[in-house]
Amino acid sequence: DVVMTQSPLSLPVTLGQPASISCRSSQSLVYSNGNTYLSWFQQRPGQSPRRLIYQVSNRDSGVPDRFSGSGSGTDFTLKISRVEAEDVGVYYCMQHTHWPITFGQGTRLEIK
């Protein structure tokens, strides 16, 4: 199975400051068609996960532009340019290039 390793696991951030989460995979996530199936999800307290980013850097409809994704191969990053109170929750990366689909352990973002 592809192991997805996120860091940090806990991320205290001051309101208005940037935040960055790293996700590394144990093997390349480039599929045979050239696409990279790496997504980022946000799970607010008591809610279902919500997709923010798909295929590394494509923002979902309705997701604020302060969220951005980047990376390639085995190394990926989710950045929040200016953290707001509504960003509190757990963030997960997920790969669906290889079976079985696997998730990172999650990064808990809190306001300092």
Does 7 engage in binding with another protein (CB under 8 A)? no
Is residue 2 a contact point for another protein (CB under 8 A)?
no
Which C-beta is closer to another protein: that of 33 or that of 48? 48
- Which one of 19, 23, 41, 76 is in contact with another protein (CB under 8 A)? 41
Q: Among 2, 22, 26, 54, indicate the residue that binds another protein (CB under 8 A).
A: 54
* 16, 48, 65, 86: residue in contact with another protein (rule CB under 8 A): 48
- 96 interacts with another protein by CB under 8 A: yes
Q: Please pick, from the candidates 60, 66, 68, 77, the single residue that binds another protein as defined by CB under 8 A.
A: 60
Shortest spacing between CB 82 and another protein, in angstroms: 25
3-state SS of the chain is CCCEEEECCEEEECCCCCEEEEEEECCCCECCCCCECEEEEEECCCCCCEEEEECCCEECCCCCCCEEEEEECCEEEEEECCCCHHHCEEEEEEECCCCCCEECCCEEEEEC
Partner residues linked to 107 by β-bridges: 91
Q: What is the CA radius of gyration of the chain?
A: 13
